[in-house]
Structures are given as structure tokens and as C-alpha cells.
A and B are shown apart, each in its own frame.
Chain A
């Protein structure tokens, strides 16, 4: 993007404006859910199942109820009286709020204790006695599909197996034919492990039902407050909750990354408790509950095949995947996309043929299938194509950069219709890769690698050239529970020329209060400092589907821009009235209209705003405001090329990421500082699953990795100093050419690291390493190849 069009005072797009939300955060004055304390507020704590699959024979709350301060113990039976013991998932499956018969995963909610204080509530949880009868556990998703596997969802009358869905995209026959005609075929199994977003703030809420007014206010860690309100109204309408009397407030959110999209049972129980008891009820989960019971991400078992000609031209891609969804399909996907946007798996390459299929299965694990800082299943798709591309490079003995450059969709071919049906809006893939190679010093590193190999030392250098698909989405394809995935802005200009802009999204750290203000500033010339941005309160903000999947800038940001343009159109009429000229004679520059050919005759937006309330033209409505509900015509396709350089300790197998260069292209940039921050954060959340994080289960369905003892978030020591750069290829269909950036790095980084590790070992004949790449996995390869120290 060229230089900013606005002055530093106005601070429109392209300025690295200091964040407007920060003054409260750096003073410890943020307002997170657990900071909220209401008069008479009670505390809720949850009894959870130690078993992955068991019949509940009895729940004895008598000892708990004897503890002074314990007021109630809520069970599935309690909720069943109100028919609130089940709820729908976002994928129109069903999920228990509290069980009445059996538990389906370890750490499942079994009962809730309501007490006057959180310490007493914890004592109450310990005192509730539950008698379980363990049932056979299904942990392995492949075994879940075996004919003799126990059927898990016995609550569904017609369900005869554990398959949730079969989804496919592409032309199977044409793809098979292309494979048959190819010179080379490579195949690779890869598992994208179950991981957890682990935002540093866990989930929680304060539910406050006012018996007199009948109004329910829920302060809640949610990325999608409006959708939650509607879901509450639909699910609990029969007990008297009516949508106009439900107010969801998403206050400051301590990181979301997709984990705060779903409605967890805890929220619903807290609401039910508040409605029944008539007092505010706070529930805040602890870290182990967060890791063990909240929605997971990934868990895709992928088999990928790539066909090519001898010269390296890729001809076809074939993918078969088994998706472990746990006991319910509670994925946070658009309704029509059970496998999310996995069909972006053709990646950055001009593949003519592709076929992908995904089968979802039930197991005795927590439900989920959320994003972990990526658009729906895009990380899985990118890992798959970027890994198999390197396998092909190895097979063909081609440099992985050369293979990519040979197969990239040429810049002049955009918009590109992919083999699996997407229309990529814009891209210049070679430019990004060349830039990354130049920054990292690719040739010199290859030389160093050769020298090191000769000395028996191991270093790897490799690439991920990803294409994302974000900004869901166009209403003809995209909805969640029927709610179309538009987003919104309501913009008011005050008489003194200051603005209030409200959006249907909800920042969890992305900096919307700043970037949205900059969008308005860009469009209207009102200083961003004077644009108050508000989100997250369903009583005041316009309806929107929320913030996830990098959709805020592509959808709500666009709505902000279009609302501002509507305001500008009205401002033009007012300016013409004030300047006594035709609107057609006016020219706009940020902040003012002037008369063509007479630049001294002008009216600033502030003057116009005042006139809108004090001197508006007869026949025109007073005021200066606009609303936009933006339905994007297409998704946006951010991309980039990442290069990781790793060193491997031959003794221990430890991988150290020495350097990481990330060249991103997210179209036009609103705030370069914030974009860099988003990329840094995404890179750390890409490094994490590549090297450290995994949630797994033993044969009995016991979770391993269910606390920060074993679920390993990288610290500043494991994290390298990120090197970032940009190319700018604007989106042709977005109002200001932006694409979204919050998740590119999470999507792009893991295969870059995995590819670099494999590259370090490639001369030994290693073709693949599963993530997370633990020291032992690497050591085993070294040992197998006789290279361990």
C-alpha cells in the first residue's frame, strides 16, 4: 500500500496508530468477565466426570448441601424439569447441558453447585457423590467406524453407527483419471492433532436475571454475542426468555481464537441457575476445565496424494480424511460446511483436478471442532498441501522453492477458479516467495546446510506458501444456524463532528477500537481519536455474527466503510446546501467537500455535521447517521510465504527455530503495527502445535495434556524473534481492498516448521514427521538412521 492518504492527526488507513483500547489495559482497568461483581452475586462450580463413558447411577448432593453457603446443586434432572438438559450445537447436532443418564467424555459436566462464595462452591463440588457404572470407551476414530463398535449416540433413535457426516468436494472420476495419467504420485498420511486455543482468560459468565423486569443480562466470554442471544431465545423461549429481554454483554475478552464461539453447558447452567434462584450467578472455569472440556480444534487424520508430471508440474490432488468430532458435532462451522473450508486444500497451486472427502465420527471425547485462530479447517488444509508438496519435491529431488514457483497460480490468472470451486480473489504468490527467500538469504542458507551436513550437523530450511480463505461469508452459501454471515456497522456523527460507531463483531485483542476508528477516519476525515467504537452489547450494537475466522475486517470493516460512505453521501447533500451549489459540483478529499475549481469554498465534515443538526436542508431528515449490513460478494484469500530455519540437536532431538521469516499479503493494510502484531501472535500459535501442543487420550479416554503442566504453551524462550515483511495485493471486491490477517500466521507457520525439520533430515531419507515434533520423535528418526549422538 502506498503512503497514507490522511494526516497523522486524522490517522486513517496506513497509520500505525497507537491503540485506543490500551490506556485501560496498561492500567489494569480492563473489564473482563471475572472482574464483574454484582450485588448478591452467587458462584457456580461444576462437578465433572472422571470417566469417558459411564452410566450415572446416582448423584447424592446431600453432603454438599449441608456445607454452609452451598445453596443448590443442579443436575440434569433439575434441568429436565424445564426441558433445558439438552441444547443444539452450532452444527444442528445436540449436546447435553447436564446428563440425566450417562456421561460421554471425561470432564463432562455432571452437576453444578451454587454457593455464596467460590471457595464454598469448590468445597461443594468435592462433596457431591456420583455413582458411575463405566461403559466401553471409543477413543480411536477409526475403530469408531468398525461394524462392531458400540454406538455412542444412543439418544438418537435412528442412529446405527458413529458416523456423523460424509462430505466431499471435487470431481472424483476426473481426479482419478489424472492420477492414472501422471508420471509421479506421492502419498502421505498425516495427523493434525487435537489442540486447544488456551486463551489466557478462560471462559465464564455472570448471568443476571431480574425477576421483576423479566430481563436476563449475561456478561459472557463470547466472540459472537448476537448469535448467542438468538440461540438463548430459541432454546429457552419456552421458559419465558424472550429475545427483547435478553441482553448479552461481551466485555473485554482475554483472547478468543475460536474457543469463545461455542455456547458451553456452563453458560446455560449459570443462566438457568440465575433464572431459578433470581440472583446473579457467576461461573468462571479454571484452566483444567478449559483444556479438558471446552471445544478442541483440529483432530484430522488425513491421507493425501499428489500427482505430478516428471518436470514437477502438479496435476491432481486426492485427500481422504477422518475427522474426530468427539461425542457431538459441535464444530463452529458455517452450516453448509461440515468440514469447514477444508476444500481450500488445493492451496496456492494451479491444480486442475482435485477431490477431497471428509468423514466425521463420534468418539468419547469432548465435542468441538473449532478453529484455533484459523478460518474453518483452513490450517488442516494448508498443512496437508504444504507438507505433500515437500514430499513431492523430495521425490523429484527438486528444490522445494523451485517446485512451488513452478506450480503457483500465475498472478495474471486471478481471479482463479480452484478445482474445488472457490474463486480466489487476488494473489501474487511468486512475489511473496521471492521476497521471503531474499530476506532469509535462501541460497546462503542452502550452502551453510551443505557444509553442516558434511560435518554431521543438522539444519533445515523450508517453506510454506499458503493461501487462506477468510471473511465468511456471502449469504447464499454462509450461515450459522440459519443466521446469514453478514456483519454490520451503525455510525452516528454527533453535532460537533465526532463519531460513534457500533459493530456486530467483538474484539478479543485484535484492536477493533483502533482499526475500525481508522476506517471511519479514512472515509470521513474525522480523526480516529474522535471515533468511539463500541461492540459486544446486544442492546446497543447492530446485529452481527461476531469475530472469528478473520472475518471482522472483511465483513464488519467493510460495513464500517460503507456506512461511512452513506454518511458521506448525505454530507455531500448538506454541503451543497451550505455552499449553495449542486452536489455534482463538489469534490471530496478526506475531511471536506469543496467546490470544483474553487477550493477555498469548502465545508469540513465537522461543519457539515453541525449543520445536520442545526441547519439541515428543508425536506431532508435531520441528523447524520447510517447503518450498513454488509453481505460480502466473495471471501477473501490472504496468502504468504514463510521460511523457517531450524537446528537440530543430534543428542536430544530438540528442534530450535533459529529464524522465521514471514512475508504476508493481506491486501490493503489499516494499521501496519497491528497487522505485524497479529502476525507475530499467529506465528507463535503456529509454532506451538508444530513443536509443543497436543491433547491426547489414553485407551480409557483419560485426557493427557489437560493442564499447563502438560499442555505446553510456548514461552518467550521457545519463541524466536519473528522477521516479518509484506507484499500488498488488494482484494478487488472488498470496499477498501483489505483481506483479513489475524490468522494467516497460525495457518502458514506449522508446515514451514515441519518442512524445515524434514528438510534437516531429508538426506537421511526422512519424508515426514508428525506434529507436534517432540524431541523424542526426532531422536527416534536419528536413531533409526544411525545419526543419534
Chain B
């Protein structure tokens, strides 16, 4: 069973780590790098609690091998806040009660950030479609949609 020396950038910091071939990216982030904001909620690539940005695209880090992320730029929820300032999506989730237990929240916000990076004026249907790979059991989604709409408005005004 091979081990690999990989280098990747996580939230702007470069990490060199040795990983077993089968190590999942989510475990690299959570256990090796101790970035526990990225969560695990299923085994079958359904729930999206583990969503991170991989070179700018939101992906399910439970279904990416750590070794596949060699040379990549990763952003986790811990990387959303910049210079002590919350990302507008974080602010909007707080402001609009877009979270309850907080478990799906990091993945949900990462997906929201990626959507708004592409489109600052998504329709409600587009937002719902964009977050359809992220399951939330607490909020019934309404306030998540509202939070993303509110963050979009904020970003449009910037």
C-alpha cells in the first residue's frame, strides 16, 4: 500500500504531508490538519456536510482522495473569514437564522459562497438547485435560501 508525499494549500497555508493512498480528503483535513469545521454526515456522497472548495469548486471531500488534491488550493469553512472579517455568506447565515445545529452549515456556506462567486443574482430556484447536494435536517431550507439571497444582495452592493 503506497504512501505519497503531497503538497497542498489549505486556506492559503501550504502543507506538506505524507498520506496513505486511500486517505480521504475529509480525513486529511479533519484529522491530520485538525480543521474540524468540515464535517462528515454520510457514506454515500449524499449529504454534503464535507463540502470544501477544491480549486474554487465546491466538492464533497469524502469522495476525493487526499492524494488527488496534490497541488490544489483548498478552502474550508475556517478559510472564509478574511482578516478578522466574516464572509458576507457567514454574516448572512447568522443574520437570517440560516443555521440551527450547525452541522451542515460549513458545507452549506461553502456551496453558497461558490454559487455567489459565479452569480451574484441567483433566483430562488437557482439557489435551491445549487444547494441540493447539501442536506439540512434542522432548518427546512427557507432561511438558508434567504441567507444566500441576502448575501447576494450584499455582494451586489459592494
Contact = CB atoms under 8 A, between A and B. Distances in A.
A393 interface: no
Given A253-B101, A255-B101, A677 B139 contact: yes
Contacts of B90: 26-27
A719 interface: yes
B42 A287 contact: yes
Contacts of B76: 28
B135 interface: yes
A509 B138 contact: yes
The CB with the most chain B CB atoms within 10 A, among A674, A681, A707, A721, is that of A681
Interface string B79-102: 011000010001001110101111
A708 B132 contact: no
Interface in B99-143: 99-106, 109, 124, 127-129, 131-143
A200 B127 CA distance: 21
Nearest to A31: B36
B36 A35 contact: yes
A157 interface: no
Given A30-B37, A680-B143, A707-B44, A25 B99 contact: yes
Interface in B1-28: 20, 22-23, 27
B102 A30 contact: yes
B38 interface: yes
Given A28-B35, A200-B41, A287-B41, A252 B102 contact: yes
Given A37-B31, A253-B101, A680-B143, A19 B132 contact: no
A257 interface: yes
A707 to B, nearest CB: 5
A299 B99 CA distance: 30
The CB with the most chain A CB atoms within 10 A, among B39, B42, B43, B99, is that of B42
B22 to A, nearest CB: 7
Interface stretch (A164-172, A600-608, A682-690, A761-769): A682-690
B22 A119 contact: yes
B154 interface: no
B78 interface: yes
Contacts of B20: 119
The CB with the most chain A CB atoms within 10 A, among B30, B99, B133, is that of B99
A29 B102 CA distance: 10
Contacts of A509: 100-103, 138
A34 interface: yes
A: interface residue count bin: 35 or more
B: interface residue count bin: 35 or more
Contact of B38 (A28, A716, A719): A28
B145 interface: yes
B137 A199 contact: yes
Given A25-B102, A25-B105, A26-B86, A677 B77 contact: no
B137 A287 contact: no
B40 interface: yes
A73 interface: no
A676 interface: yes
A719 B97 contact: no
B43 A255 contact: no
B3 to A, nearest CB: 13
A673 B100 contact: no
A37 B137 CA distance: 26
Nearest to A722: B142
Nearest to B130: A716
Nearest to A719: B141
B56 to A, nearest CB: 19
A198 interface: yes
A255 B97 contact: no
A707 B43 contact: yes
23 contacts: A18-B94, A22-B99, A27-B37, A27-B80, A27-B86, A28-B77, A30-B102, A35-B30, A199-B101, A199-B137, A253-B101, A255-B101, A257-B137, A508-B101, A676-B143, A677-B143, A680-B142, A682-B140, A684-B141, A708-B135, A716-B127, A716-B134, A719-B128
Going nearest first, the 6 A-B pairs with the smallest beta carbon separation are A28-B37, A509-B101, A254-B103, A25-B102, A680-B140, A28-B77
Given A26-B86, A709-B44, A717-B129, 11 more contacts: A27-B81, A28-B106, A30-B103, A34-B30, A201-B39, A254-B39, A509-B138, A679-B140, A715-B135, A716-B145, A719-B128
